[in-house]
Each structure stands twice: as C-alpha cells, then as structure tokens.
Amino acid sequence: MKQEGKKHIWSNYQKEIAEDRYFYVRSCIRQTFFPGSENTFLKILREVLGKDVHESPNHTTCTGIGYHCEVVPFATTQTVVARNFALMRDAGYQNYTPSCVTSFGIYTEILDTWQHFPAEKEKTRAFLKQATGREFEEPNSLAHTSDIIYKFRNEIAQKAKYQLINSETGEPLKIVEHIGCHYAKMFPEKSVGGAEYPNVLAGMIDAWGGNVIDYPERRHCCGFGFRQYLIQANRGYSMSASKKKFESMEAYQPDFIITNCPGCNYFLDRWQYVLAETEQKTYGSNGYGIPVLTYEEVAGLVLGFDPWEMGMQMHQIDVEPLLKKMGIKYNASEKFKGPQGQELGLPEFPEHVKFTTQSDN
C-alpha cells in the first residue's frame, strides 16, 4: 500500500468546511442507537474548540428513510428539507451540519437537483410558502459533522489525553474505518477523500496515533441498506453483508471499527451479537467482538471524556477491553448507572460473545 498514491487521490477530493457558526441538525435514529454521540459532538465543539453551534427544537426529519423506501415522494422531501433550511435562515446561520449520513446525502442530492433543475427549487419554494408561510435560502456550506471533526482533528490531537495506541505494547491500534454510502458514494466530490479511499475517518485515525487497516472487503456494504433490514425476511441478507466484512477484516485483528454513519455503526455492532448467538462465532480476540465506535466517541476518548457519559455502555459489543488497551482510566462500577448515579439495572448479557460484567473487573 503506497501512501503517496492515496494522498494523490485525496488531493482530488477536498472540500470547503466552515470554520465556525454551525446550524446543527440531529439524526432521527442515532439518539436511540448511540445516545451519547451527538452530545459528545456538541461538547467537543462548544467546550473544547469554543465554536458557536445552534440547534433548533423545530427541526424535523429529512425524510431520508421514507424517501429511500419510496414511501415519501421527492416533492415532499424537498419541501421538508426547505423547511429545515428556513429554520437555519431564521436563526441567522448559514453553515448546515447534519449529524446523519443519510441526511447529508439527502441535502447534497437536493442542492444538486436545484442546481441542475432550478424549476424544482421554485416549485419547492411555492410549496413551502403555501404549507408553512416560511421562506428559505440554500446554506453557504454543507458539511457532515464528521467533516467538522476531521477539520479540527489536529486541534483535538493537541489537546489529547490519550492516543490511539496500545498502552501495553506502545504500538498504534489497528483500526478499520468505514464510511456510510450516503456520505461519499453518491457524490464523491462532496466528501473528504472520495469513495474509494475515503480520508475523513482515516485522517482522524492518523492524527490521533492509530493505524488504518486496509482489508479486502473495505468497500463492501455494512449491511444496513434500508431495503435489507426493514423487512424481517430480508435481514439474513443484511447480516450476511456484515458477516462478509467481519470475515475479511478478522485476519488483520482490528482493535476497533470507526464509522461515520448511524446505520453502519448500529449494524456492525448489533450483527456481531446476532452472529455470535446464531453461529457461535466472534470476530474479536478472546471471545469478544470487535468494538464499533462513532467518530465522536473516538474523539471523546482521545480527549479524556468519560466513556459512560458518552453512552458507550449502550454498545452491544463491549468496549471495556478497548478502554483497557488504551489505558483509559474509567470507573467500571458506573457502567450501568444513570447520569445522576442512579442504578439503571443490568442488561441481559449475551451467551456467546463476551461482555465485561462488574465481577470481571
């Protein structure tokens, strides 16, 4: 693998990312899947980097899931998106930053549509006015929140308490990076690094001391795909796609997987549990799975945030072996306590993939 070759390709996929004053829009599903990640992003931006980030309680879905499942017509999607743009305008912001990769794809697709078919934009303007009385403007810049963390990766590295290094051996951690399809596969030129050799997560890993693993099925689908998992009968298909990736990466003994997409994160994490329970097969070391982290969680760990405050106990695949590997100081007894220290009770533990319980510590 020649690094210069990758850098050459990356030079073709650079994008303008705004410096400050972001209009932040949350994902529909992330808050239930990995509830601490979005708060971690806000904490990093506001408290660590001192940026101005605005959220509107009136923000709605982008309709992405419905749109891709062909239950929401495109005209509706455009109007809903226009309404979200209108909220940004009303709040006095211009830099739109969605947390969800599918939303990022939707916004990119619509801005591209409006550029090529201005009549669609005018139609949307009329619909929005008629339905809500609102008016909108296109954002000055559109960046996925992983783009923003990428932009400030070196600042984060300067303030790092921990590095992506195995504290026992001193070796860089071996990390699989996986980007969401809607981040770069639809509009590679709107991403950092393109779709074939994406740099958005690789750049973070590099800045924070880890090593990116290149494994043969790195491009393969994570198994999310709306058409794959929404219908139960298709879920074997979804799981098989994830399995293909795990089998391919297993030989490289990754310490963890980092993703920038709600779906990739969820399915790479949850399917490892289902595969363990149906096939008694685990892909990490010593009967554990391979932890799957969001980029916000990784940034948070590097900055020394408390893993339980970031909601990392919500992962199906246990993260404690990774925390120990990185030499992170954390309180094991608070894993299943609420933010005010209240007991939340213990989850049901899986049978065939190890999960650290308090008695192990």
Nearest to 182 by CA among 124, 98, 249: 98
Q: Which is nearer to another protein, 136 or 355 (CB)?
A: 355
Task: Show contacts with another protein in window 91-120 (CB under 8 A).
Answer: none
Q: Which is nearer to another protein, 239 or 299 (CB)?
A: 239
8 binds another protein (CB under 8 A): yes
Determine contact, residues 262/270, Cβ cutoff 8 Å.
no
Task: Show contacts with another protein in window 191-210 (CB under 8 A).
Answer: 194, 196-197
Angle subtended at Cα 167 by Cα 161 and Cα 169, rounded to the nearest 5 degrees: 150
Among 217, 253, 287, 360, binds another protein (CB under 8 A): 217
187 binds another protein (CB under 8 A): no
185 binds another protein (CB under 8 A): no
Segment near another protein (CB under 8 A); pick from 127-135, 169-177, 233-241, 323-331: 233-241
Element (H, E) at 270: helix 262-279
Among 240, 253, 358, 361, binds another protein (CB under 8 A): 240
Q: Which is nearer to another protein, 14 or 58 (CB)?
A: 14
Which amino acid, one-letter code, is at 94?
A: Q
232 binds another protein (CB under 8 A): yes
**What φ, ψ does residue 155 adopt, rounded to 5°?**
-60, -40
Q: Cβ 109 to another protein, closest distance in Å? A: 19
Nearest to 355 by CA among 298, 292, 307, 289: 289
230 binds another protein (CB under 8 A): no
Segment near another protein (CB under 8 A); pick from 57-65, 98-106, 269-277, 306-314: 269-277
159 binds another protein (CB under 8 A): no
CA distance 87 to 93: 9
186 binds another protein (CB under 8 A): no
- Residues counted in the chain: 361
Given CA atoms 212, 213, 217, 222 in this order, what sign does their dihedral have? negative
354 binds another protein (CB under 8 A): no
Among 279, 344, 347, 361, binds another protein (CB under 8 A): 279
Which amino acid, one-letter code, is at 309?
A: E
Among 235, 306, 332, 336, binds another protein (CB under 8 A): 235
Q: Cβ 340 to another protein, closest distance in Å? A: 34
190 binds another protein (CB under 8 A): no
Q: Which residues have C-beta within 8 Å of that of residue 257, sequence separation ≥ 6?
A: 175, 176, 177, 178, 249, 268, 290, 291, 292, 293
Q: Compute how many residues bind another protein; rule: CB under 8 A.
A: 34
Summarize as ranges the residues that interact with another protein (CB under 8 A): 1-2, 4-6, 8-9, 194, 196-197, 214-219, 232-237, 239-240, 243-244, 251, 274-275, 277-280, 351
